[in-house]
Amino acid sequence: MTDSKAANQLWGGRFGAGPSAIMTEINASIGFDKRLWKQDIAGSRAHAAMLAKAGVLSAADNAAIQQGLDTVAAEIEAGQMAWNPALEDIHMHVESRLAELIGEPAKRLHTARSRNDQVATDFKLWVRDAIDQIDAGLVAFQRALLARADEHAETVMPGFTHLQVAQPVTLGHHLMAYVAMAARDRGRFADARRRANECPLGAAALAGTSFPIDRAMTAAALGFDRPTANSLDSVSDRDFALEFLSAAALTGLHLSRLAEEIIIWASQPYKFVSLPDAFSTGSSIMPQKRNPDAAELVRAKVGRLLGAFQSLAVVMKGLPLAYSKDMQDDKEPVFHAVDTLGLCLAAMTGMVETLVFNTAPMRAAAASGFSTATDLADWLVRAGGVPFREAHHITGRAVKLAEEKGLMLHELALDDLKAVDARITDDIYSVLTVEASVASRTSHGGTAPSQVRAAIAAARQELGL
């Protein structure tokens, strides 16, 4: 049988001539949708079992189909499937090979379904599996962050706004910010999974079917919560893919922010971290260089994730109900996003686990830039009953004096501070060190080591660790 005849037989009698080579090339999706083979076979198993229970398919035909699908799965797993562009997609490949193996019963498998509801089901199953894989990667990332945060719950570093030294914080607190981001990422993926977990199978081409099928049975067999409610929406919906890509893009943004910080921290002006050999490279001309290439590549790849969402959104934005061939372009952006995000998560987890934090430069930077100025203002409010706005101005004058003298705030003599405001006493020195500053930030979610350890414990409990 020629390739065109094989394809025509599956299309039916409507087409008399085979497609041109150009049409074959543009129409075929097997080059990428073969990744759906496990999901396609699972859907066919569930569909055949349901048809047999409904009396649409004989028990003997169902047994032959199930056995034949076992063989097809084994062949694909072993790399023995001959991928043929003339057969267009994974659905036709499975069905065609099944027909070669078991003959007539294979022709009955497609009863009461269409490639439209079939691909929607396969794709949902695949995205659901991808979400589970990404979630596992996010958990590993969180665990790595938690371990380093616990290690550095008391390590002082500068907290920045506008990339200027603002107030002292702890490194553990800083790392826990990314644990919080990852928790939101996991929540978005979980929400997307929950909404996606409705089964399109049985919607057929767009209008449902006249056969006495049991959609709840196939939904349950495939691990869905329920069948989808509207047949038109069932075959035309790609919200689940767009939601996945949106969550992936936000996750990528978070990874990119940490990657950017690692790049900054590893630079010579900062020297906050030393990069591990496994995640850095050298220069072809400058032997002293250690480049943060892994972090830079993670920072770059968020563009691909944003582009994947944009790509699919443009495909879907003007499509009338129900199915259009445009939707064949839904899978490549999602496949690419899953691969990209999985790689970025693995790289960032590895970097977090192996970075060497240089605590001395961190503490020195935390003490620079008059980072405890707010502590002076807060002390004036607490100890002197000074309104905060007035305390803010007094502190500003103290900072100006320290700048003129070339000193840090805690290095100013008490007489100098009293000259700024007579209400200042020697007790002020108890709040002007960076250690005292971070220790005082005991509000819920603050940077005090006690709060950091409480946040770590709560996160570990949430993760079941």
Distance CA 213, CA 222 (A): 15
Counting beta carbons within 10 angstroms of the beta carbon of residue 214, is it exposed (0 to 12), middle (13 to 18) or buried (19 or more)? Answer: middle
- Is 283 assigned a catalytic role? yes
Are the C-beta atoms of 66 and 57 separated by less than 8 Å? no
Tell me how far the alpha carbon of residue 44 is from its chain's centroid: 30
Angle, helices 59-77/90-102, rounded to nearest 10 degrees: 120
Cβ(272)–Cβ(362) under 8 Å?
A: yes
Tokens of 365: 């930077």
User: Does the annotation mark 162 as catalytic?
Assistant: yes
Question: Token pair for residue 56?
Answer: 């649409």
Distance separating alpha carbons of residues 120 and 162, to the nearest angstrom: 46
Structure tokens at 450: 């006690």
Separation CA 306–CA 337 (nearest Å): 9
**Residues in Cβ contact with 102 at an 8 Å cutoff, skipping those fewer than 6 apart:** 64, 65, 67, 68
Check residue 88 and report its DSSP letter: -
Q: Which of 162, 284, 443, 444 is catalytic?
A: 162
Active site residue: 58, 283, 324, 450, which one? 283
Q: Report DSSP letters for 189-202, one per residue.
A: HHHHHHHH-EE-TT
What residues contact residue 290 under an 8 Å CB cut-off, 6+ apart?
266, 275, 280, 281, 282
Beta bridge partners of 169: 157
Residue 212 CB burial class (10 angstroms; 0-12, 13-18, ≥19): exposed
Q: Which H or E run includes 168?
A: strand 164-170
User: Rounded to 10 degrees, what is the CA torsion of 123, 126, 128, 134?
Assistant: -130
The answer to whether the peptide bond before residue 322 is cis (omega within 30 degrees of 0) is: yes
Residues 348 and 259 sit within 8 Å (Cβ to Cβ): yes
Q: Which residues are catalytic?
A: 162, 283
